[in-house]
Amino acid sequence: MTGKGFDLEGIRERLVKRQELIDHYKEQGKNLDKNLEQQLKQELQQEHQGVLLLEAQKEKDDRQEIVKLRSELEQQQQDLLKIKQLNYQRMAVKMAPPMTVLRNAILAFVVGGLICVIGQVMFALFQQGGLVEKEASTATSATLVFFGALFTGLGLYDELGKFAGAGSIIPITGFANSMVAPALEFKREGFVYGVGARLFTIAGPVITYGTVVSIFIGLIYYFTK
């Protein structure tokens, strides 16, 4: 250890003492005095370096104890940093602009609802045109997906999304958007490494977890029906 003689017991003692101090400040929600913080940081750094060297010099089988001490020191370095971070985050949160939740929710409701109304009208028209219910619903989905894709291609869907949020993401048109947007975007990296590899960048998680959830629901249905 730099400067001082190497003394594992001393390190352990200081580790405990420092932890008490850190916990105290954490509870109080107060930052450490700058000089004190610097001193603790320096101490920790010095001990960490010393322990690292000792670890390097020991035989592989004798390292266990020292590895544990090293990770305790590292944890304490994190804890020390955390005090400042938590206090800062507390202050910063108060200054953040208010989230426009109500406005967003209303817009999402109206736009999402409108898309669904359009879908319902299409559905009725398809049925009037002579399709049975199942065919009409498939045709409606396909048409909505087509328009979702078209408006993405025309560069309009992201403008709608900015305004409507979840209202335009949740309906099936949003699914089309989440597929066409990466397709357009990554075409420049080619059809294999671009479009092929990244087509599902956004839709992927939805499909993955949609499938997983449907398995569970299927099981529940199977055992409870």
Pick the closer one to other proteins by CB: 76 or 178.
Answer: 178
141-160 residues near other proteins, rule: CB under 8 A: 152, 155, 157-160
Among 69, 168, 172, 175, binds other proteins (CB under 8 A): 168
Which residues touch 58 (CB under 8 Å, ≥6 apart)? 66
39-47, 60-68, 77-85, 136-144 -> range binding other proteins (CB under 8 A): 77-85
Decide if residue 104 touches other proteins (CB under 8 A): yes
Among 6, 88, 109, 193, binds other proteins (CB under 8 A): 88
- The minimum distance between CB 158 and other proteins, in angstroms, equals 5
Decide if residue 82 touches other proteins (CB under 8 A): yes
Question: Which two structure tokens, joined as six digits, stand for 79?
Answer: 């804890």
d(CA 143, CA 153): 15
Question: Which two structure tokens, joined as six digits, stand for 115?
Answer: 């898309």
* Residue type present at position 160: L
| Structure-token match 């610097």, residue found | 38
d(CA 81, CA 89): 12
Decide if residue 186 touches other proteins (CB under 8 A): yes
Decide if residue 132 touches other proteins (CB under 8 A): no
d(CA 51, CA 67): 8
20-28, 128-136, 184-192, 211-219 -> range binding other proteins (CB under 8 A): 184-192
Among 37, 72, 79, 185, binds other proteins (CB under 8 A): 185
Start-to-end CA span in the chain (Å) = 69
Question: Which two structure tokens, joined as six digits, stand for 159?
Answer: 């403008």
Decide if residue 85 touches other proteins (CB under 8 A): yes
